[in-house]
Structure 1
Amino acid sequence: MKRNLPPFFVLLAAILWGTTGTTQALAPETAHPIAIGATRLAVGGLFLLTIVFVIGKFNFQGWSMKATLMASLCMALYQPLFFSAVSITGVAIGTVVAIGSAPIFSGLTEWIFLKIRPAKVWWYSTFLAILGCLMLFVNQESVRVDPVGIFLALGAGLSFASYTIISQSLVEKHSSLSVVAVVFTLSAIGLSPFLFLFDMSWLMSFRGVGVSLQLGIIATGIAYFLFSKGLVHVSPSTAVTLSLAEPLTAALLGVFLLGETLTTTSWFGIILLLLGIGLLLWQPKKSISYNQT
């Protein structure tokens, strides 16, 4: 595999994640967001696990159960934390805080605990991308800042950053496909109680099945496989910053598929997001990996 491809795997994963919002908007009205999140992980985990066993890629030898359980817990926590934050403090603030805080948590965790200082280009690109994300969402709705919602959104950002860092330690020793299959299956089991708390009759409709398959197979299974594939050669802090392409994709799909409109400020935010992501993609690989402290 060419060394310049991994960042694009991460970027493609973020683009696929960006389809989630549009897909949820097309889901049956009775589908609760948390129930959709639980279904998404269940379908994605089952899809990945099936592929692993069909192609015979799974191997338990030398498997770190502690790291696997931690990664699964982080992913399981991310879903309800993010959806709850959005419901409490609004889509704009919840999304900006959750997605915008993840690169910061990732970079600081690497620096403090792993003694790995992200390169200068990461700081520049992360600043541009987070500022762009803020401008993209700032005028989309009336802002209501709820302390509980902010706290939950920060928890979601920390969960995603932690998942990324832990996953990298797993994909260094095992195939990316095996890692995401096991992690998402365990995450789905952890969120399975939600399937009994909400009305799941929407799954019986044609549209409900379509939404579940798109979210589970494409936006979860394939997307996180690509993300893990990229983590083999991309630092967690860089990968999390590149994942800011998710809100960018979601905004553009909203405009072109759902008929939404963006303000001038939001379009300027898109430009900043593209600049921040572009800085990471077009720099030499050694500039976007690690600097030891």
Structure 2
Amino acid sequence: MGFLKSISEKLFKTKRGFTEKIHEESKKDEPITDEYLDFIEELLIEADFGVKTTMKVMEAIEEGIDKGDIKTRRDVELKIREVILDILKQVEKPLEIRKSKFVVMVVGINGSGKTTTIGKLANFQTDRGKKVLLVAADTFRAAAIDQLEVWAKRVSADIVKQQEGADPAAVAFDGVTSGVAKNYDVIFVDTAGRLHTQKNLMNEVIKIKKAITKAYSEAPHEVLLVLDATIGQNAINQAREFNRALGITGIVLTKMDGTAKGGIIVAISEEFKIPIRYIGIGEGMDDLKAFNARDFVESVFVP
């Protein structure tokens, strides 16, 4: 229960902005009216569940009412939890690194927490005795290279880097080639924080992916998209564009502790069915958690 409690405390904004309002209504010994159902629907939309997921939840509630399974407002809350859990269980697939020379390409826009996520994932691996290499293929900003180097030192990983302005695809190729030749267990390739709406920049990450495959035909084994949960529905657009360009195999949702609209994780899960590998719930090294659907739902709905 300590683990659940720690997540629950980190997700208090989501609870306050969404589930506590449902709790308050559940306590009322009042009938299920059209006005109440409208309230639930608006609450789901406001919490960034998106139209598609909201409609799925509302249809499940209405079907339960018609069948006589839902008689009270408490029953409505339990049905919401059930539908959310069913959606999230489909994407509960933590990243498994089962072989050596495992290449993870990490993408996402600036400010999403991408480089910090790489650092924390690298720490998971070095803590397990793995030999880890970080490849600084975000060459557009000197600060990005410096930040990755700081993380490399912090978590006892090695780094391949070049100067600012170097060709990102060439850096990725050299880094992966070196990492494979030197038998690194895990190779994380950082990429520039592309705005998904900038076609030329999206083309650049496509080029980086091709360079990784050229360096090692099996790679990348994982294309990991880091999304900022606080940007709400725009995260859906980012996921769509990156997935279209690269074929995303996993998602990390960061800053879940900073949003009252935690429904975005459900919306993304329902829309794309892409595995949610991790969620970020704070700045600490231990605040990147392997995603567990039941733990997440229970922590958010804890009274």
- TM-score, reference length from structure 1: 0.30
Higher normalized strand content (fraction of residues): 2
Higher normalized helix content (fraction of residues): 1
Q: Which one has more relative contact order, counting CA pairs under 8 Å at least 6 apart? A: 1
